[in-house]
Every structure is written in structure tokens, then in C-alpha cells.
Structure 1
Amino acid sequence: MSHGVFAYTWDLVGDPEAAARIAGLGADTVTLQAAYHSVRGITPWHPTHRVVHAEHAAAYFRLRENRWPGLRPLAPTWGVENPDRFGTAAAALTGAGLSVEAWLVLTHSSAVGSAYPDVTVRNAYGERYPYALCPSHQLVRDYALTIVSEICDQYDVDLMLEACGWLGFDHGSHHEKTEGADLSITARRLLSLCFCPACRTALGAEADRLARSVRTAVDAELAGGHPTPVDATALLAHRGAVIADLVREAKSLAGDRRLLLMATDDPWVTGPDVGVDFQSVAPDAFVLKCWGDTQAAARQLKAAAERTDLPLIANVTALDLDWNGVTELLEAGAAGVRYYHAGLASKARLDRIRTTIAEARR
């Protein structure tokens, strides 16, 4: 039974006490940010700063110039000057007796998407989502796999993949102003389908019909009606095949390293937890988001366990005031837990993580 916590590199670099503080939670593993999207985060425990504003997606590992023939991530320009923040933080953690998983966000990057708009997701209206790289493009797959290979080449760590597929309508724009349209989950999922040139090529003649169906359904709902049914079987199958191939290649690069995939077994889902058929994708373990209602999360785990023999890791958030611990999740079949987030949590929340891990180990 593995218990791990998430952490950012800036929680550790420049804080000589951080690794020992995290080890004191009782976890055995730290899922450490190595390639990550833009974010503003508080650092309540760091001795020299309180708020970190990561202005764009960045790679926190050493960027070797000759390894990036196509798309490439940016280096961080905030915080301490250190070309290998991941390596520095990982060394501190292993020195404290903890194992490390590299936390890799692959297809969520406004920085890369803005620089290379032709490889971003495009909805049925032809509008681009600059934060969402479309893995139908070989350039995007090469970019994602280079991130994986660079981590494996430079560090002896396991891997956790986030955003290993499509991001959609609901994830990551500026000052979001879409709630007032009262879009249903169906409409939001339709607006998350990609019709970029690469996806259109994969679909062939089906692409035009499907795009028209999506526009008709969404416009009907926006006009106050109900969306007509849309058959997206071919596009979902295409997405599933691309994701399965990407995971397969990443696992090959990982070798003996353990590869965990943030996922859900609903193929309509887009975002950080990729929507896939659990029987068609083969990481070493699936990481299921178990935020919110604990009983609902337990039901999700039980249902997933019926569709895969791979271990299921429960991703829980200690930042939620209504968090009810992990007992029900472990009873539902979770083979491990990852607690979000050792750097963002208050003292009371860190105490709760510590107590929860101790109770689970009894």
C-alpha cells in the first residue's frame, strides 16, 4: 500500500527543511512537478517566498538544447535561478528516504499552443483552444514523448502522466465567462471534440458530418431547446487509439520505471484525467481522481476495478473542507493513495494527511 503526496519544485528548492517536513507526513512517495502548466500557488512553508506566479507552462528539469527538434517547453523564469529544479528537489527528497514520481503534464500548455497554434485543439466551429495541444499531431506526440524520454534519461524516478490526451472546453481559459449560457454536460463535451486538420484526416468524410451535428446540437441548446443526439463513435475511437499508442510508447521509454496514468474510463472525458477504455490502455496503474463525495468516489473505484486488473491509485485532496479520509476508498479497492497537496496545505490539513496515513497503515 503506497501513500504519496503531491509537491511542487518551489516547495523544496531553497527550503532546507522541506524534504524532512514532507517525510514527516508518513508518506513513502512524492509526486513531484517536472513539467507543469501555468499556475499561481501559495507557499505557506517556504522561508523566503509566499506566492509563486508561474506565468506559463514550463519544464522544471534540465532542458538540453539538442533534444528538442520540434516543439519544446519553456524554462521557468520565476523564483530561484536553477536550470534543474526538479533534480535539486528530487535529490532532497530521496535524501530524506522518499521515492519520487515525476509529475508530467503533457498536452496542456498555453505557451506551446500560442507559439504553434496549428497543433492545438479546434472545436466544431473552427475555434482554437490554445491551452490544449492535440495529440493527433505527430509534433505533439513527439513533444510529449521527448518530455518522458528526457526525464528517464536524466533521473531514476517513476512517472505519473497528466493530460495525456485531449483537453477540452472546460479546462483553462482566461477569466472564464461561460457559465451564464447554462451549457449542459452534453454540450460541453460536444464543444470538447477536436476537428483540427489531423483529427479531420483521421476521420475522413465523417468529420464534416460530425462537425455539423455538433454545431446543430449546441446551437439548439443555446437557443433554449434540447440538443439532438450526436453519434461521435468514430471520433472517440480515434481518440482512444491515439492515447493508447502514446501510453504504449511512453511505457516503452520508461523501461523498468513505474508509469502511472491519471485517467477515467469515460471516453467522453477530456482534461487532466484522460478519458479512455481501461481495457485498451496499459500503464502500470491508473490514478483516479477521488475528489468530492467520498461515497461516489468509492463507487467509481469499484466500477473501475470491474473493468481492469491494473492497480487503482486514489487521488484525493486534503484541500477540500469536506474531505472524509480514505478508509472507504481503500475498502473499495484502492491500491494506494496520492494526497493533494503537501505544499499548498495549511498546518491543519497537513496534520490531517499525517493522521490519515498513520491510520491507514495500522
Structure 2
Amino acid sequence: MKTRHGAFAYTWDLVGDPAAAERIAGLGVSTVTLQAAYHSVRATTAWHPRHRIVQADHAAAYFRLRPDRWRGRLKPYAPSWGVPDEDRFGTALAALAGAGLRAEAWIVLTHSSVLGREAPDLTVRNAYGESYPYALCPAQPAVHDYAITLVSEVCEQYDVPALMLEACGWLGAEHAGHHEKTSGAHLSACGRALLSLCLCPACRRGLAERGLDVEELARDVRAAVDGELQQGVPAGESLGDALGRERAQAVYDHRGRVIAGLVRAAAVPAGGRELLLMATDDPQVTGPDVGIDLASFDAPVDAYVLKCWGPEEAALAQVKAAASRTETPIVANLTVLEDGHARIPALAADLVAGGARQLRYYHAGLGSPARLASVRAAARVKERQC
């Protein structure tokens, strides 16, 4: 079976640079995962004829915005950076098609600091009552509707064969933004997971429906977190240790129901397009890759995109475990931005042998020449053993 290779790219890598699409095609990939709606970021543009740094100050929609389609409280902002173009996604799509490349729409659903600051009541709220403005809560009906409208607008306006959904659930306490000053407290993974548990009104209702005493849950979360922060007492290895297995499972079941509902709703406007879900096979996880039980997830997903960054052994083990637990195809997301990028071709071959059916490389616009050379070499991995 042939292995599909693809690379991530931003619209600003392509718009205004007539050579960009052919340059990406020269990496040997057949597919480009192109940002249609994205969070704030500061990015280099090494090859662009007009700029070297793009400062995307807020989350934005890069497709053509049609005001009459946005009737709820949440409405995406247009970008004001890079080369002016009211339809940057469409312009970039046309360039990629001209180079013979297949493009899929990369849509970030619940990560938007600008919208979270405007509507704090729709954001993730921890057990202390504190809002995470970068994290819209998908259990909130207004957030659900906003996310599905993003998907609908992309599908109605553009002929893309696939959608890659990022942040299709909850973002948690960890957020790579501002000048982070949270690491010195040395919260464990379990402590961070406790701080990532959303207790906004919508999540309180969902958890109460599963038989939880939400006030008691909030008190126990606070006690466990404070025990780590103030006394150095570990909360445990997992939410099950800290909260008890039944309560932890109720949290996971609530999250799974909301995420699956969002994916099922997105499948309607997708209209047969492939749905690729950025995920991890650990329901405790929050973040851009949703934590779910891959074996029991009840939604029409065409592939799970697993982030294979960090230690190679862990990446390979993750893919092998996921491939053994689900018949849904696995897409391995590799980064060439870390040290050790020269190992990417060998890792790609190992991941394919371990069960990955597709590979995506992060990132065609951010990689140095040496790192992009690693993508070219990795793209020569043609088949997986079936």
C-alpha cells in the first residue's frame, strides 16, 4: 500500500510568493495541510520575497469571511498581516493546485485568545473558577455552533478533499503563550491534568448528568493541586489516582461525548470529505490533540493524526499501540523543527512499518534547508507492509 506524504504550510508561505508551491512540491510530498483557521503565532518566512517574520497577533480565519453566516456571539477575525488578500486560503489553494498538489484544510476550532477574552463565560474554567481565555469550551453550545460554522464555511466555499481538525476539544492549563512563568512550581502531569479539568457551567451540567457531585469534585481538585503546590505531595500518576476511577471515567465519558458530538456535527457540512482528527489515545490529555479512547470513539473519523514529536521510541510505541487498538488509519505527524531531524527518514520508515498509513511533516514554511532536506529523504518511503 502506498504511503501518502504531506507537509504543513501556512497561507502566508504561499500568498505573494509565486515560487512557493513549486518549492513545496519539490519536497516530494503529494499533500499540503493548509491553515484555514488558526491561532496567533509568530513565524519565520525564510523564502518569501516580501517578508521574513509574520506576527499573527490573534486567531483568524484565512478564508473569505461572509458576515451573514455568523449569527452567534463568536465571529472569527480576519488577518491583517502578511500580503493583503481577503481570500488567502483560496489564493493559496489555487497555487498548490497549479503545482499538482492535493490540499487539505487545517482548521483550529477552540483555540482563540481574542474570542476568549471577548466571551470569558464561554471559556474553560478550572476548579478555582479561573478562566483560560485561549481555550473556548466545546461543551458550550455557542462554541459548538462557532466550530461547525468554521467547518461549514470552508466546505461551502472550497473544493478540498479533506479537513484536518485541531483543538476539537478542550485546551488545558498548559499553553505556549505570553511569557510562561508556570514551570517552577513543578506540577506533575497529574497536577496539570487536574488544572485542565473544565468546570464551566456547561461542563458542570454534563458532569452532573453523569452522577457527579460537582462541588465536591471541585473541592477535591483544589485540594490535590494545592497539595502539590504548597506541600509537595504528589496528586498521583493519573486522574484516576487523584479523583478515583469512577469520577475520572465520568470526566472522560463527558469529554468523549462532547468531542464525538462535535466531530459528528462537522461530518454533516463536510459532505463526504475526509475528516482527520488530531488526537492522542489518552483520555486524560487536553490540548490541540484531543485525548480520547481510540478503540471506542464514536464518530465518523477517517484517520487519527498522532503527534510523533519527541523521543523516537515513544513515537513508535504510540503508533504501534494505536494501530493495534483501532482499524481507523493512523497519520503520523513528524516535526523537522527539533534537533535530530536527520533521523526523520529512518523514523518515517519505522512508523510506516509500525502501522502508520500516512505521514505529515511539520513544517514546509518553518524548516531550514537542512531540515527540508530531511523531508525530501523521508518522502522516499513509499509503502507500508500490509
Q: TM-score, normalised by structure 1?
A: 0.98
Matched, 1:233 2:255: no
Report what 1:42 is aligned to.
44
The alignment yields a C-alpha RMSD, in angstroms, of 1.2
Matched, 1:332 2:336: no
- Partners of 2:383 and 2:21 lie apart in 1 by 21
Report what 1:213 is aligned to.
220
Report what 1:358 is aligned to.
380
SS across alignment from 2:265: helix
Report what 2:266 is aligned to.
250
Matched, 1:344 2:366: yes
Report what 1:321 is aligned to.
339
Deviation per CA, 1:127-171: give whole Å up to 9, x if none.
000000001100000000000000000001110000000000012
Q: Shift of residue 359 of structure 1?
A: 4.2
Report what 1:277 is aligned to.
293
Matched, 1:93 2:96: yes
Deviation per CA, 1:290-309: give whole Å up to 9, x if none.
01122211111111112110
Report what 1:67 is aligned to.
69
Contact 2:9 2:34 in 1 (8 A): yes
Report what 2:35 is aligned to.
33
Deviation per CA, 1:260-309: give whole Å up to 9, x if none.
00000101101110001112243100000001122211111111112110
What does 1:164-243 correspond to in 2, within 5 Å? 164-204=168-208, 206-222=213-229, 223-227=231-235, 229-231=242-244, 232-243=248-259
- Partners of 2:48 and 2:109 lie apart in 1 by 27
SS across alignment from 1:10: helix
- Partners of 2:192 and 2:95 lie apart in 1 by 42
Matched, 1:151 2:151: no
SS across alignment from 1:124: coil
Deviation per CA, 1:203-225: give whole Å up to 9, x if none.
22521111111001011111222
SS across alignment from 1:261: strand
- Partners of 1:277 and 1:298 lie apart in 2 by 18
Report what 1:295 is aligned to.
313
Contact 1:294 1:329 in 2 (8 A): no
- Partners of 1:142 and 1:3 lie apart in 2 by 32
Where structure 1 has 5 or more consecutive residues not aligned to the other structure, the ranges are none
Structure 1 residues 361 and 353: alpha-carbon distance in aligned structure 2, compared to 1, 3 A threshold: farther
Q: Shift of residue 246 of structure 1?
A: 0.5
Letter in 1 for 2:90: G
Q: Shift of residue 336 of structure 1?
A: 0.6
- Partners of 1:206 and 1:74 lie apart in 2 by 38
Identity among equivalent positions (%) equals 62
- Partners of 1:207 and 1:233 lie apart in 2 by 14
Letter in 2 for 1:242: V
- Partners of 2:381 and 2:60 lie apart in 1 by 37
Report what 1:129 is aligned to.
132
- Partners of 2:337 and 2:176 lie apart in 1 by 20
- Partners of 1:206 and 1:237 lie apart in 2 by 15
Q: Shift of residue 361 of structure 1?
A: 6.0
Task: Single out whichever of 168-177 and 80-89 deviates more from structure 2.
Answer: 168-177
SS across alignment from 2:115: helix
- Partners of 1:230 and 1:4 lie apart in 2 by 41
Task: Single out whichever of 278-287 and 52-61 deviates more from structure 2.
Answer: 278-287
- Partners of 1:351 and 1:173 lie apart in 2 by 30
Task: Single out whichever of 38-47 and 287-296 deviates more from structure 2.
Answer: 287-296
Letter in 2 for 1:11: D
The alignment of Structure 1 onto Structure 2 pairs a total of residues equal to 362
- Partners of 1:312 and 1:359 lie apart in 2 by 16
SS across alignment from 2:243: coil
Contact 2:135 2:172 in 1 (8 A): yes
Task: Single out whichever of 270-279 and 159-168 deviates more from structure 2.
Answer: 270-279
Deviation per CA, 1:26-84: give whole Å up to 9, x if none.
10000001100000000001111000000000000001001011111100011222110
Contact 2:188 2:234 in 1 (8 A): no
Report what 1:22 is aligned to.
24
Deviation per CA, 1:246-271: give whole Å up to 9, x if none.
11111222112111000001011011
Letter in 1 for 2:333: N
Letter in 2 for 1:247: V
Letter in 2 for 1:280: F
Q: TM-score, normalised by structure 2?
A: 0.92
Letter in 1 for 2:33: T
Contact 1:44 1:343 in 2 (8 A): yes
SS across alignment from 2:325: coil
